[in-house]
Amino acid sequence: MGYCSGKTFRYDKASIEVYAAVVGKIESEGPYGNEFDEVIDDNKGGTDTWEQAEGLFQKKAVKHVLDKSGLAPENIDLLFAGDLLNQCVGSSYGLKDYYIPFLGIYGACSTFAEGLLLAGAMVNAGYADTAIAVTSSHFSSAERQFRFPLNYGGIRTPTSQWTATASGAALVTQSGKPPFIRAATAGKIEDMGITDVNNMGAAMAGAAYDTLSRHFTHLGSRPEDYDLIITGDLGLVGSELLCDLFMRDGIAIKERHKDCGLMLFDRSTQDVHAGGSGCGCGASMMCGHFLKRIERGELKRVLFCATGALMSTTMIQQGGSIPGVAHAVEITSY
């Protein structure tokens, strides 16, 4: 794993002007349940299917962002969107009625960071005045697509993670107000040889280590320069692995490391095993909780590193391993 190749992008004009999160019932019962903009109790959200519901979560998250900003869909120059469903249909079906220029992105659970990286770049460079990044995940649509039919009632393994039913959306502009996107590092694909779809944290930890290491090196920063280093959804197993990987280099990050997958749910009372996961997990924790704290100046410099397991059932059935990727976005109050 090399330190110095690749680049870290710098931003001097990109603000996250507004942001919003929409979550499901179980997520609303977690420790941060009061911080989200909307809770949809019914996991079909009044639609006919889980997949349509997932689209609805994205649609509503974007609606909240539009409402907060006072902008209409025709005022938005670009929409970066993605999700875990085959062909990213949560995004395309959920957002089609807005009729906003649409660039689909895919990085599994790293997608929200990819969206912030690209929306930030397009706004910072002046290509777009307004760009939204939005992602989602849905427990039921993900479980039946990636693992087993829900009514099969399979026992979940201890390392398995619970896909969050949630969406987060952020509007990037040159508003000049915090939170600011200051830097971002695009991840390389790391394959640690993990083949267990119920151990995604382990599959993604190496990618997070590589991206964070390169980010520090390129900027000449150290973990202690950040108030928090927030990973998307490494969960319990992946988080420990990440801290261990840094300890090999003599770098202690545990004290300032937080994982959205370990925060969204209360693991002592909610049966989510190794924690939450999904494109909506990091997105909702960032847009529901962390961005507010950065905006208020409680957190001054934060590094958000969302990780993705780039697996498909087809490749797993063919005996393939699970490549991971992680993108890091540095967000500041100043």
Q: In the complex, which residues of this chain contact a second copy (CB under 8 A)?
A: 2, 5-7, 9, 48-49, 51-52, 74, 77-78, 82, 84-89, 92-93, 95-96, 99-108, 114, 117-118, 121-122, 124-125, 127-128, 145, 185-191, 310-315, 318, 320, 323, 325, 327
Residue 179, preceding peptide bond in cis (omega within 30° of 0): yes
Residue with Cβ nearer a second copy (121 or 283)? 121
Could you tell me the CA-to-CA distances from 162 to 227, 263, 323 in Å, in that order? 27, 12, 19
Residue with Cβ nearer a second copy (178 or 323)? 323
Token pair recorded at residue 282: 């990091």
- Number of C-alpha atoms within 13 angstroms, CB side, residue 106? 12
Residue with Cβ nearer a second copy (53 or 166)? 53
The residue among 281, 310, 274, 312 whose CA lies nearest residue 147 is: 312
Residue with Cβ nearer a second copy (139 or 265)? 139
Q: How far is the CB of 114 from a second copy (least distance, A)?
A: 6
Residue with Cβ nearer a second copy (92 or 270)? 92
Q: If you write DSSP's letter for every residue of 265-288 in order, what string do you get? A: S-TTTS--TT-EESHHHHHHHIII
Q: How far is the CB of 103 from a second copy (least distance, A)?
A: 6
Q: How far is the CB of 70 from a second copy (least distance, A)?
A: 17
Element (H or E) spanning 292, and its range?
helix 291-295
Residue 49 CB: number of other CB atoms within 10 A? 11
Name the residue type at position 119. Answer: A
Q: How far is the CB of 86 from a second copy (least distance, A)?
A: 4
Residue with Cβ nearer a second copy (6 or 223)? 6
Alpha-carbon gap, residue 204 to 127, rounded angstroms: 32
Q: How far is the CB of 317 from a second copy (least distance, A)?
A: 10
Residue with Cβ nearer a second copy (125 or 252)? 125
Could you tell me the CA-to-CA distances from 331 to 16, 42, 179 in Å, in that order? 9, 33, 6
DSSP 59: H
Q: How far is the CB of 90 from a second copy (least distance, A)?
A: 10
Q: How far is the CB of 214 from a second copy (least distance, A)?
A: 9
Q: How far is the CB of 191 from a second copy (least distance, A)?
A: 6
Residue with Cβ nearer a second copy (30 or 323)? 323
Using an 8 Å Cβ cutoff, are 267 and 152 in contact?
A: no
- Please, is 153 exposed, middle or buried when counting C-beta atoms within 10 Å of its C-beta (0-12, 13-18, 19+)? exposed
Q: How far is the CB of 252 from a second copy (least distance, A)?
A: 27
Alpha-carbon gap, residue 207 to 1, rounded angstroms: 9
The residue among 55, 184, 63 whose CA lies nearest residue 132 is: 63
Alpha-carbon gap, residue 230 to 307, rounded angstroms: 10
